[in-house]
Amino acid sequence: MLEVHLDSWLREFGPRGKESVDADSVEHLLDALEEKYPRLKFKLRDETGQLRRFVRVFVDGSDVSATTGVATPLTGARTVDILHSVAGG
């Protein structure tokens, strides 16, 4: 089981604290979260299923958003942190 944490903005749409999820990839992890918390749908991924531009996913502290993204395997991973960055100036 993975321990998943969402940032404070995303907690409005999903779990308020840590969530334990069983998934073998980031894609399946997001599927499970969106199924349990429907309000997360389209907050994390776009219509094509890819991570939104301002969403960062950290697997055991490593940012996988710009590299393997949703295809990242989670075998052996312990924690996933999902952050929604803020843009503007």
User: Looking at the predicted structure, is the pLDDT value of residue 22 above 70?
Assistant: yes
User: Looking at the predicted structure, is the pLDDT value of residue 19 above 80?
Assistant: yes
Could you read off the pLDDT of 23-47 as tens digits, one per residue? Answer: 999 999 999 999 999 999 999 999 9
Could you read off the pLDDT of 54-79 as tens digits, one per residue? Answer: 999 999 999 999 999 999 999 999 99
Per-domain residue ranges of the chain? 2-84
pLDDT band for position 89 (cuts 50, 70, 90): low
Quote the pTM value. Answer: 0.92
Q: Which CATH architecture has domain 2-84?
A: Roll (3.10)
Q: Which residues have CB under 8 Å from 86's CB, separation 6+? A: 9, 54
Whole-number Å distance between alpha carbons of 81 and 38: 19
